[in-house]
């Protein structure tokens, strides 16, 4: 039996894996995972402290890692921004990607209407050249 710290750490790891798997599914939803998406996934995997083996396993089987939504408002916005950045990394957010982002927004705790509104707002700010930090400040 593990300690509380072990349980917290494994829960944190599961949340990281869930985040990464959501990004993988978003990259795949249009049927093509291009070089820009792969590069972004690699950077995110490193930021999340996922080993290359973990990242590869999740990329091959993303459906096995459920989303664990963050509790904090700021973290939920950060996650939504990440999803939209992944969808827009190739310069286009198609209807399948937008629908999946809204679904993820609802899973993060937003209403369907708010998820849609935030998605459009964040996408427009990304198109305007704002970085994650500036977008987050605006949303908070």
C-alpha distances in Å from residue 66, one per residue of 16, 49, 55, 73, 78 = 10, 18, 15, 20, 18
Determine the average pLDDT of the residues in 50-70. Answer: 91
Burial track 37-61 (b if 16+ CB lie within 10 A, e otherwise): beebbeebbeebebeeebbebbbee
Q: Return the structure tokens found at 107.
A: 């899973």
In the three-class reduction of DSSP (H, G, I as helix; E, B as strand; rest coil), residue 35 is classed as helix
Quickly state the pLDDT bin for 10 (edges 50, 70, 90). low
Predicted confidence (pLDDT) at residue 96 exceeds the cutoff of 60: yes
In the three-class reduction of DSSP (H, G, I as helix; E, B as strand; rest coil), residue 42 is classed as helix
Quote the domain boundaries for residue 96: 4-139
Determine the average pLDDT of the residues in 83-94. Answer: 92
* Domain count of the fold of the chain: 1
Predicted confidence (pLDDT) at residue 102 exceeds the cutoff of 70: yes
Predicted confidence (pLDDT) at residue 82 exceeds the cutoff of 90: yes
User: Model confidence over 110-128: pLDDT tens digits?
Assistant: 999 999 999 999 999 999 9
């Amino acid at each position: 039996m593990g300690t509380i710290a072990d349980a917290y750490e494994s829960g944190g790891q599961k949340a990281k894996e869930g985040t990464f798997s959501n990004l993988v599914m978003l990259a795949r939803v249009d049927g093509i995972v291009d070089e820009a998406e792969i590069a972004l996934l690699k950077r995110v995997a490193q930021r999340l402290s996922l080993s290359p083996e973990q990242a590869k396993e999740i990329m091959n089987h993303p459906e096995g890692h459920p989303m664990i939504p963050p509790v904090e408002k700021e973290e939920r916005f950060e996650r939504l921004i990440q999803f939209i950045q992944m969808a827009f990394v190739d310069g286009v957010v198609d209807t399948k990607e937008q629908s999946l982002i809204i679904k993820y927004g609802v899973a993060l705790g937003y209403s369907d209407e708010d998820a849609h509104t935030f998605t459009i707002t964040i996408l427009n700010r990304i198109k305007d050249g704002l970085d994650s930090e500036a977008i987050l400040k605006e949303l908070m």
